[in-house]
Amino acid sequence: MTVIFLVINFMLSLLAIFFVIILYVKFSKVQQLEQDYHHLLKEAEETISGYVYELKEENEIFLSKITDKRHANAPTVKMARENLIDRTESEITQQDVEMLLNENEQKLSSDKKENFESLSLYEQVSHLVEKGHSLEDIAKKLNKGKTEIELLWKIRQ
């Protein structure tokens, strides 16, 4: 009977050692995966930073070209404007000035409308709230339901 217990004890000890070895192998694989993950993360970070750096350089080159062209064209544009102003200065009347001002105001208001319409719904709502409009007025102006505007405003706050 003692022999049977010793054999069972020996088998259980071998089984325990086998499980410890399996756990060690699994743990080392997890550590290796973690190291690989950190390595890939570092490579991705370096790639993205290199890409951003290239974009920055391209933008700087582009901006320098634009400023160079502006400086090159500035004298000719100024001279053309001065000549135009000299020729038409005597011909301008009060009605012409008022007409130009009205056109300019209309262009500005249409530009503001286009800019306002290009904003997201939340940005439009927040802009109108800043101006002091109530949520009901905003819903009417944007052709949306009052509840929809209230929910949007409450969720974003």
Ordered by start, the domain boundaries in the chain are 1-91, 104-157
Number of Cα atoms under 13 Å in the Cβ half of residue 50? 6
Residue 149 neighbours by CB distance under 10 Å: 25
Name the token pair of 156: 């974003």
According to DSSP, residue 132 is labeled T
Cβ proximity of 135 and 126 under 8 Å: no
Q: What is the pLDDT of residue 121?
A: 76
CB 139 within 8 A of CB 149: yes
Scored b (16 or more CB within 10 A) or e, 74-109 reads eeeeeeeeeeeeeeeeeeeeeeeeeeeeeeeeeeee
Q: What is the mean pLDDT of the chain?
A: 78
From CA 53, how far away is CA 51, in angstroms rounded?
5
Q: What is the band of 99 on the pLDDT scale with cuts at 50, 70, 90?
A: confident
Q: How many CA atoms lie within 13 A of 64 on its CB side?
A: 6
Contact 139, 145 (CB under 8 A): yes
Model confidence pLDDT, tens digit, residues 34-84? 999 999 988 888 888 888 888 888 888 888 887 777 766 555 555 655 665
User: pTM for the complete prediction?
Assistant: 0.35
Amino acid present at 61 = I
